[in-house]
Amino acid sequence: MLAGAAGCSGNPLVATPPTIQPAQPAVSPPAHNPAGTVQSLGGHPQNTFFDDDTHQLTVLCPGTDPAAPAGLAVLGAQSAPRVIALPGPVTAITGDGHGTAFLATRGGYLAVELTGAKTTAVTVDERTEFTAIARRADGMLVLGTADGAVYTLNADNSVASRNKIFARVDALATQGNTTVVLDRGQTSVTTIGADGRVEQALRAGEGATTLAVDPLGRVLVADTRGGQLLVYGVAPLILRQAFPVRQAPYGLAGSAALAWVSLTASNVVVGYDLSTGIPVEKVRYPTVQQPNSLAFDATSNTLYVVSGSGAGVQVIANAVGKP
């Protein structure tokens, strides 16, 4: 367990916290007979989410180099991707579920309307490299930075709170108005409350890489180096389940029925039932190569698997299967 974290707005660390080499997904072997259908999408997509109102998957596609403009691919289960050109490089993505994507970038974020492709740039701190973004239940956006700060924004995009206690903010997720911060270098998860104050912090395995939430209040973390699925509660932050998952777990998606985990060393995605307190494997599918990102459409029971190596977007209908 990490030391109890207590911080408030504008209270920075004096020195950078000690870190380890961040874990990475495995380099996947060639894929064989992925389940469902596969839609073409090249490049090296990084993040994805499913927008409930527009019934579309949204995928962040970085440029050919770190300074090149990114693209936003938007597609349905049976429609080819259309790519929205973005004005610059982008590092992370989230959505409001109602047709708008929010993307972290240097200096602030972009708001993109998925149907009309209108893009609005919002400046938060023009000198800062933002690396993560999430949206709370009350609509407030939260941004993380390359130098370890978390900004919570008011509705007018002014800064409500700033906590600089991390080595780097690699990913953010929210349960209600609680923000969960993943720092890969410290392999830790930390909660920030609705008031912007840091609450609890816990070590997350041997090399945590990704996190996701589900509709039942759980936070899922992939311990890629340690080969585990970690399941947390957030009120307070507590590790509720730790389950061995070999083959370099990385991609995550939460749903009411199953927790989805991709195994990057073997091109497989597994659905686990968490309801008994011990994860139970229910379904397993072969995937596209390098299954780094997952998203789930609860309405149609469709699982999306996005290849990080340009092998496309896999669409698995009726993914949960029969109870």
pLDDT averaged over every residue in the chain: 94
The pLDDT value recorded for residue 9 is 45
For 194-231, b where at least 16 C-beta lie within 10 A, e where not — what string?
eebbbbbbbebbebbbbbbbbeeebbbbbbbbbbbbbb
Token code pair at residue 49: 């989410």
Q: How many CB atoms lie within 10 A of CB 38?
A: 17
Assigned CATH for 37-316: 2.130.10.10
Token code pair at residue 109: 């974020």
Strands of the 198-203 sheet, one edge to the other? 171-175, 178-183, 188-192, 198-203
Kindly state the percentage of the chain with pLDDT values over 90: 91
Q: Tens digits of per-residue pLDDT, 57-106?
A: 999 999 999 899 999 999 987 888 999 999 999 999 999 999 999 999 99
Local structure of 262: helix, strand or coil: strand
Alpha carbon distances (Å) from 262 to 114, 287, 308, 318: 27, 9, 12, 17
* Mean pLDDT to the nearest integer, 169-198: 98
The pLDDT value recorded for residue 18 is 87
**DSSP class per residue in 112-165:** EETTT--EEEEES-TT-BEEEEEE-TTS-EEEEETTSEEEEE-TTS-EEEEEE-
The pLDDT value recorded for residue 73 is 97
Q: How far apart are CA 54 and CA 9, in angstroms?
A: 36
The pLDDT value recorded for residue 17 is 79
Cβ–Cβ < 8 Å for 89, 106: yes
In angstroms, how far is the first alpha carbon of the chain from the final one?
37
Q: How far apart are CA 89 and CA 103, in angstroms?
A: 10
Q: Looking at per-residue confidence, does 116 or 323 come out higher?
A: 116
Listed by start position, the domains of the chain span 37-316
Kindly state the percentage of the chain with pLDDT values over 70: 95
The pLDDT value recorded for residue 3 is 42
Q: Looking at per-residue confidence, does 2 or 191 come out higher?
A: 191
Cβ–Cβ < 8 Å for 117, 84: yes
* Preceding peptide of 249 cis, ω within 30°: no
The pLDDT value recorded for residue 227 is 99
Q: Is the dihedral of CA 228, 193, 95, 146 positive or negative?
A: negative
Instruction: Kindly state the helix (H) or strand (E) to which residue 179 belongs, with its residue range.
Output: strand 178-183
Q: Tens digits of per-residue pLDDT, 2-57?
A: 544 444 444 555 567 789 999 999 999 999 999 999 999 999 999 999 999 999 99
- Least confident window among 73-77, 180-184, 236-240: 73-77
